[in-house]
Each structure stands twice: as C-alpha cells, then as structure tokens.
Amino acid sequence: MIAAEITLTAQFYDLDPMQVVWHGNYPRYLEQARCALLDRIGYNYPEMEASGYLWPIVDMRLKYVRPVRFAQTIRVSATLAEYENRLRIEYRITDAATGEVLTKATTTQLAVETASQELCLESPSALVERVRKLLP
C-alpha cells in the first residue's frame, strides 16, 4: 500500500508532569503523518474540499507501547490500509535511532458530501482514482 513517514523531535512543551509526551499530543503527530500521506496521494484537505467532500475522523485508536521522552527523535509512519469504502490509515511511531515501536494507531475517516451533508457508503472517485494511479 501507499505510505509516508515524517521525523519529529519531542519538544519540552509536549511533556506532561511525568516528563513524557502527554497522551493528547499523539494525535497531532498522527495528523502530520496523515497529511504527508495525503500529499503523496494528491488528496489532502484542500483537494478534499475542492472535490465536494468532508472527511471527518469517526474512529481513532491508539496503543501506547512505550513513552516518548523529551528530545527523543521519532519517526511517524502512515500507511493507507483501506480506501474504497472508507479511509483507514495505520500508524507506527518508532524511535528514530533504534526502530523500537513506541505507539501503534489507526484512524478511520468517512466521506460526507459537503452540499447535502450525506454520508457516503463508498469513497468518491476523487480519492479512488488517485489511489489507483499510485498502486502497482
């Protein structure tokens, strides 16, 4: 499948009182990786809007395996897992130096037609066609 990866360094302002990255900051990391993936597909949020669809996240799951600490450099990968009926993306946050898995996550987004606010049971061709062009 199609994937993208970003590299980040945990900043002081991301930490909680226990000196690890606060759990609520992980979705921001996922969002950055998701945008890199959507850029690779050519269907990031401006293209979604231009195609007449909203793509709200309807489900997000995170499994915190090990904490991310101050100044730790991490890699966040986003891999397209499903696209025909929904947009499901799988994520892995790993230590950049060791490759150790720190967090596993998934998000699910559904297409909603902007004009009617109707939920779509199939992904619009604006996404499907772009994905298929990138697949072998």
The sign one gets for the Cα dihedral 81, 83, 84, 85 is positive
pLDDT, tens digit, for every residue of 65-100? 999 999 999 999 999 999 999 999 999 999 999 999
Nearest CA among 96, 56, 57 for reference residue 76: 96
Nearest CA among 76, 90, 93, 87 for reference residue 130: 87
The CA distance from 117 to 68, in Å, is 39
β-pairing, 3-9 vs 101-109, is unpaired
Domains of the chain with bracketed CATH: 3-134 (3.10.129.10)
pLDDT, tens digit, for every residue of 117-136? 999 999 999 999 999 999 98
Q: What is the dihedral of CA 106, 117, 39, 22, to 10 degrees?
A: -40
